[in-house]
Structure 1
Amino acid sequence: MEAEHDSQSQRLLANFQSYVSAHPSTVLLDPLPAMSQLLDRFTSYRIMSMLQNSLIDWRVCCPPYLEINSVGDISSIQDAMDSKGLSFPLICKTRVAHGSLSHEMCLIFGAGSLDDVRPPCVLQSFVNHGAVLHKVFVVGDKHYCVDRPSLKNFPPGPCDRMTIFFNSHEVSKPESSSHLNALDERMPCLPPPSSEAVAALVGELRAQLGMALFGVDIIVNIHTHTLTIIDINFFPGYEGVPQFFSSLLGHIESVLDRQTADGLQAATCSE
């Protein structure tokens, strides 16, 4: 069923690409190749990793991660983890970054549970962050930060705890109340992300992605207070963003104005 759904999606995309090619005046808010790269966590995580160098002054990073393409023996996964600097607990995410299945994840606490990995997927070191997820929504030249519930803290290091399977959408909904995001009340509040650091991150992502409508999930490390990127999202839901539709309309108008100006300039140059 999943393969059939993927095949149908590919046909729809191919038909849309054919339509755009046949109608060059069609206005796309973001280019299709740019959007496609965020449908694959392998690609988006490589982008996240590259961003660290340009944002080092802002203390922005992403956790160590490992791409798993196929089922292998546990020892080879452990060797790859060691070489990439991953540590337990791990969060395992599907390679596909869109659709309902992309929200199905699990927390793996020790080598004895690595057989719960279901490739193709990404393994990422879990970072304790005080159960707060900061979702940054980008609309053209504006961005908005909305706080959501997130996974609670877990003791670092390997242990024999059973793997926890969960749906990230259910854990991080605005009204979510789950045992997975219930934080110890004695946990001190973390400082919010620096607005300057978030602006720098958004600027780098706009340039790197070549996109204007996307989201980025960030957390604050409870120990180092480092701003940590954990995911990039293609056209997220924008739930909780104030005046989203007016911002989107303003962005659409600016895109149309630029296209009109470019068309006039091209016509003038051809005369």
Structure 2
Amino acid sequence: MAVERPVRLVLDASLLLDPVEGGGTGEVAPALRPGAEALLRRLRYSNLGVAICGPKEMPMNVSDFLEKTANVHSFGYTLLPAPSGHVLLDESMLEWSRSSSCFYATSRVDEDLFSALQSHKWRVIAVDNERGTEDSGVVNISKLEELLLTLATLIKKEIASSSVLMVGYAMKQSREQDFAKRGSFPLYPSKNGLIFVPLSFELPLASQLNEVDMILHKMTDEIVSIDPNCSISFPKGISFSAGMSEIIRFMEEYPDFCIIDPFKNISPLLDRLQIQEILVRLQELGTEGRPKLRAPHSLKVKNFHGSELQKQLAETNLSFPLIVKPQVACGVADAHNMALVFQVEEFSNLSVPLPAILQEYIDHGSKIFKFYVIGDKVFHAVKNSMPNASLLKSSSGDEPLTFNSLKTLPVATKEQLLQNRVQDNRSLDIDVVEKAAKCLKESLGLTIFGFDVVVQEGTGDHVIVDLNYLPSFKEVPDSEAMPAFWDAIRQSYESKKGKGQT
């Protein structure tokens, strides 16, 4: 499905340099124009051959700046020959044209250069040219932010086969970088024929969505606020950024458009109470002779008033220690602020947001098993986790132990890990958990999700303590994760289209 020839992209200096900061004149220190750094960062992991070029007569400080920029992003750097006769391209660019499909992106008009490029079968993309070009073979776009989508569209239409699909993705920058560094988002088609392009909320979304075949998103990255007093059921009680709101409106208007995954399928994972209800249903999967699979025992509370709380705990047979979690599971700043409480008096002035979920704390030998469901594949990894409750209590100083589960989770020391291995050698029953993974996939209707399992000391119960959408699955080796990731996306698209045709 992938293209047979490599794709080369050359970025002209005029495209990258900020004209306000000297525009490459050498009069002031050169700098990148707004948007150029994001472009370079994305191109670095695009699986294209990228180079930066400029005329040989550029001032030395500008040339040095561009060469350093190219090196930082692992790009090539080349200089165009000084105008003389008909020699307008350097030898490397001539060589690329013989072995690759080549694109040249620029913000300046040079008819002679364009003609020379086109004579060697280069495609020219002109960005933000005030006077434009009369050459009909040049692709003109108005903003730098349009370049990646334009390039992806050209690759799909002119170079790749008709079976290649374009995936528009939307997520926060840090998450995008984590995925991109692993090669997740190639602009050059993946082995199973996918091209990835970021959706820009700075451009009209309608025109972008008309070009892509599907949307991959992490909608929780675009949540502005969630009303904790509202039963979280998409979109009730949830406020999104303007860009994500526009995607939501688009999907309401075009419900047959492929999105990975539908918002309504993801919304239960925003609410720890709904997650609990989902996990409780898995307890029916128990098999004789196998470990018990279950959800942690838990209770929703709207306040931390002592007498009322004691009564609720007694009615649900919950005992200390308890881990206290906000009911809102993700998408807001304090969703991961938690506490471990050892006695009812410690609820006084507790800072965990309300409403909250009180959950039994499970001694689990400081090991947590992270499971990732990526399409039809199930992966898992073992990570160090929190120590047993007795060790945590001894260091708490009669105070609740507060932490952020993403940043300050109290992880067991080497000595505690060794002690746990001596005390309990129970292991994970992978078959039991993989069966649960398949049931979760079917019931949730999600393409990519993750969940965490701990094995309770003493009983050997397998307890699922967390469930989340589109995790990073960074513990899975790239050689296994990337093919599974691409296959999952393609299979989801084909399944969606197949259902729409029947």
**TM tier, shorter chain?**
0.7 to 0.9
Find 1:167's aligned residue among 404, 407, 414. Answer: 404
1:103 matched residue in structure 2 = 336
Query: Following TM superposition, by how much is the alpha carbon of 1:30 offset from its aligned partner in structure 2, in angstroms?
Result: 2.3
Contact 2:426 2:457 in 1 (8 A): no
Which range is displaced more, 184-193 or 86-95? Answer: 184-193
Query: Following TM superposition, by how much is the alpha carbon of 1:51 offset from its aligned partner in structure 2, in angstroms?
Result: 1.8
Contact 1:55 1:201 in 2 (8 A): no
Find 1:84's aligned residue among 316, 322, 337. Answer: 316
Query: Following TM superposition, by how much is the alpha carbon of 1:104 offset from its aligned partner in structure 2, in angstroms?
Result: 1.6
- Does the residue aligned with 2:279 lie in a helix, a strand or coil? helix
Q: Structure 1: give runs of 5+ residues left out of the alignment.
A: 173-177, 267-271
Q: Which amino acid aligns with 1:81?
A: L
Q: Deviations over 1:118-145 (max 9, x none)?
A: 4111110100001111111111111111
Find 1:36's aligned residue among 267, 272, 285. Answer: 267
2:481 matched residue in structure 1 = 244
Identical positions, percent: 25
- Cα distance in structure 2, aligned partners of 1:10 and 1:208: 28
- Cα distance in structure 2, aligned partners of 1:262 and 1:228: 35
1:221 matched residue in structure 2 = 456
Scaled by the length of structure 1, what TM-score is found? 0.84
- Does the residue aligned with 1:53 lie in a helix, a strand or coil? helix
2:253 matched residue in structure 1 = 22
Contact 1:55 1:200 in 2 (8 A): no
Provide closer, same or farther for how the CA distance between residues 148 and 171 of structure 1 changes in structure 2, counting only shifts above 3 A. Answer: farther
1:52 matched residue in structure 2 = 283
- Cα distance in structure 1, aligned partners of 2:286 and 2:334: 31
Q: Which amino acid aligns with 2:483?
A: S
Find 1:126's aligned residue among 350, 361, 365. Answer: 361
Q: Larger Cα Rg: Structure 1 or Structure 2?
A: 2
Contact 1:150 1:171 in 2 (8 A): no
Contact 1:190 1:220 in 2 (8 A): no
Q: Deviations over 1:186-211 (max 9, x none)?
A: 32253331111011110221122122
1:194 maps onto 2:425 in alignment: no
Which range is displaced more, 36-45 or 159-168? Answer: 159-168
Provide closer, same or farther for how the CA distance between residues 12 and 113 of structure 1 changes in structure 2, counting only shifts above 3 A. Answer: farther
Q: Which amino acid aligns with 2:324?
A: C
Find 2:379's aligned residue among 144, 166, 183. Answer: 144
Provide closer, same or farther for how the CA distance between residues 119 and 260 of structure 1 changes in structure 2, counting only shifts above 3 A. Answer: closer
Of the two structures, which has the highest relative contact order with CA contacts closer than 8 Å and spacing of 6 or more?
Answer: 1
Q: Deviations over 1:100-130 (max 9, x none)?
A: 4222211000011122254111110100001
Provide closer, same or farther for how the CA distance between residues 171 and 60 of structure 1 changes in structure 2, counting only shifts above 3 A. Answer: farther
2:326 matched residue in structure 1 = 94
- Does the residue aligned with 1:155 lie in a helix, a strand or coil? helix
- Cα distance in structure 2, aligned partners of 1:63 and 1:154: 15
Provide closer, same or farther for how the CA distance between residues 96 and 11 of structure 1 changes in structure 2, counting only shifts above 3 A. Answer: farther
Q: What is the RMSD of the two structures over their aligned residues, measured on CA atoms? A: 2.5
- Does the residue aligned with 1:102 lie in a helix, a strand or coil? coil
1:206 maps onto 2:441 in alignment: yes
1:257 maps onto 2:494 in alignment: yes
Q: Deviations over 1:153-210 (max 9, x none)?
A: 0239x998210011222356xxxxx5x4222523225333111101111022112212
Query: Following TM superposition, by how much is the alpha carbon of 1:10 offset from its aligned partner in structure 2, in angstroms?
Result: 6.6
- Cα distance in structure 2, aligned partners of 1:245 and 1:85: 44
Scaled by the length of structure 2, what TM-score is found? 0.47
- Cα distance in structure 1, aligned partners of 2:445 and 2:499: 18
Which range is displaced more, 182-191 or 221-230? Answer: 182-191
- Does the residue aligned with 2:259 lie in a helix, a strand or coil? coil
Q: Deviations over 1:11-66 (max 9, x none)?
A: 65543221112234421222211101101111111111222133364410122101
Q: Structure 2: give runs of 5+ residues left out of the alignment.
A: 1-222, 226-237
Which range is displaced more, 50-59 or 96-105? Answer: 50-59
- Cα distance in structure 1, aligned partners of 2:278 and 2:461: 18
Contact 2:365 2:417 in 1 (8 A): no
- Cα distance in structure 2, aligned partners of 1:171 and 1:72: 23
Which range is displaced more, 200-209 or 83-92? Answer: 200-209
The structure that is helix-richer by fraction is 1
2:295 matched residue in structure 1 = 62
- Cα distance in structure 2, aligned partners of 1:47 and 1:134: 19
- Does the residue aligned with 1:38 lie in a helix, a strand or coil? helix
- Does the residue aligned with 1:85 lie in a helix, a strand or coil? coil
